[in-house]
Amino acid sequence: MGTENLQRSDSGTRQVGKRGSVMRRIVFAVLGLAMGLTACSAGIDAGPARTEERDVAGATAVVLATSGDLTIRQGQTAGLTVTAGENVLDQLTSDVRDGVLELEATGSRVLGVGDIRYELVLPEVHAVSVTGSGDVEADVETGPELGLQTSGSGSITFRDLAVKDLTVEVTGSGSVRVDGSADTQRATITGSGEYSAADLASDMATVAVSGSGGADVAVDGTLDARVSGSGDILYSGDAQVSSEVSGSGSVSKR
């Protein structure tokens, strides 16, 4: 996912392959969860709120496939607490497969029922994906590469990033907001989603917008910007810009 254009040393190639492997596992997890959730609908009484602790040892990535809020913070030992109505809590699953924590709902009438809150502690995060309307906020150390992905109307916010390679994919009306620093950022926005990275300092950026979405980036090295449709790319910094616009969209400096 965005790794085919990278040119690196042997060491760098191994790092990219590792990130690509994590992101591929995220993609397969998202596809599986999406199929499992198509039958879900609201219609039950959530009941009084209850909190439950879950074991998520080995997780370095997470897929949020339910509604609700997920906060991620730094900690030496991985752990998860889930707060939801007692009538739906048992139907909220949290399985770790190949390092990916999958937060999903089973049953037929769980989604959209009451408030769902997840509090996740991880030593390190490599990838985060949101499907549906869930929201993620994170202030945590990452590995050298980080992948962020939204599909639907959900959102992801990462604060104080310090990462070498950042890959972002926004599909639908969701949003990703990041600040901090990244040597390289690659963002693909499809639909009406938004990528807000005006406070993420970077040396190189590749941004593609297809549809009516938008991106806002800060780049001091090189920027490759592509727009197809009515979307917009804003940028700041002293980057050398290569741009291509097809449709009524634009690439412009703030």
Report pLDDT digits (tens) over 165-187: 999 999 999 999 999 999 999 99
pLDDT value at residue 8: 35
pLDDT value at residue 143: 78
pLDDT value at residue 30: 53
Residues 236 and 198 sit within 8 Å (Cβ to Cβ): yes
**Quick check: helix, strand or coil at residue 10?**
helix
First vs last C-alpha separation in the chain: 29
CA angle 236, 166, 2 (to 5 degrees): 105
**DSSP structure class, residue 76:** S
List the structure tokens of 226: 């592509």
Question: Which domains are present in the chain?
Answer: 8-140 (2.160.20.120), 142-254 (2.160.20.120)
CA angle 160, 162, 168 (to 5 degrees): 90
List the structure tokens of 218: 């800060």
pLDDT value at residue 141: 80
Task: Report the greatest alpha carbon distance in the chain.
Answer: 57
pLDDT single digits (tens) 48-101? 999 999 999 999 999 999 999 999 999 999 999 999 999 999 999 999 999 999
Tell me the sheet residues that pair with 189: 170, 209
Alpha helices in 87-188 (DSSP H): none
Query: Under 8 Å CB-to-CB from 126, ≥6 apart: which residues?
Result: 19, 22, 60, 61, 99, 142, 143, 145, 146, 147
User: Does residue 104 register a pLDDT over 80?
Assistant: yes
Nearest to 241 by CA among 189, 216, 211, 204: 204
pLDDT single digits (tens) 123-134? 999 999 999 899
Average pLDDT of span 21-33: 56
CA-CA distance, 2 to 4, in Å (whole number)? 6
State the pTM of this model: 0.84
Nearest to 213 by CA among 254, 175, 244: 175
Other CB atoms closer than 10 Å to residue 175's CB: what's the count? 22
List the structure tokens of 139: 């202030």
